[in-house]
Amino acid sequence: MGTVAIAAWAAFALNSCSTIPKGAVAVKPFNTAKYLGKWYEIARFDYRFEKNLNNVTATYSLNQDGSIHVDNRGYDFKKDKWKESIGKAKPAGDPDEAKLKVSFFGPFYAGYNVIAIDADYQYALVAGKNLDYLWLLSREKTLPENIKHNYLMKARALGYKTDELIWVEQDK
């Protein structure tokens, strides 16, 4: 499946842009400028659009129109090649709240909700529109055990099946 097809499928599969799992609350206040930059994917569920990907990163930068440029990259270890999806994100409501919508293809947007982040914006827990979508992110290729424990506890309390998470390999 090509990168465009992956992005289209992802956008279609996650087409709700203003929902958040029941009981989850997006971070507020949220500093978009501090969130920009490169993040390493530490864990996720087994999404079709990220199948067989390791060394997954998401890099966020500002577009001229104020939206956020999204560059997702990962190495497909079965096909022995890099994959990349380019998209854009913008607030799904209050710009001071970490409730965003992201699009990789046309007018279809997906929910992207930062539900936990440390004060220095080094580690984040991100929820999609429902309990099928969850990511643990870090500015580094690893996640400290105490942060991992706290984020997993928060996710379990919301109803996430954290035992089904895939722990992404990042080259050291």
Quick one: what percent of the chain has pLDDT higher than 70? Answer: 89
Count the alpha carbons within 13 Å of 28 in the hemisphere toward its beta carbon.
11
CA distance 12 to 63: 23
Which tens digits make up the pLDDT trace of 70-123?
999 999 999 999 999 999 999 998 999 999 999 988 788 889 999 999 999 999
Can you give the residue ranges of every domain in the chain? 3-167
Q: What is the CATH number of domain 3-167?
A: 2.40.128.20
Tracing tokens 């992005």 back to the chain, one arrives at 7
DSSP secondary structure letters along 37-66: EEEEEEEE---GGGTTEEEEEEEEEE-TTS
pLDDT one-digit tens code per residue, 50-71 = 999 999 999 999 999 999 999 9
Residue 9, CA distances (Å) to 5, 15, 27, 100 in order: 6, 10, 27, 19
Tokens at 107, concatenated = 């007018």
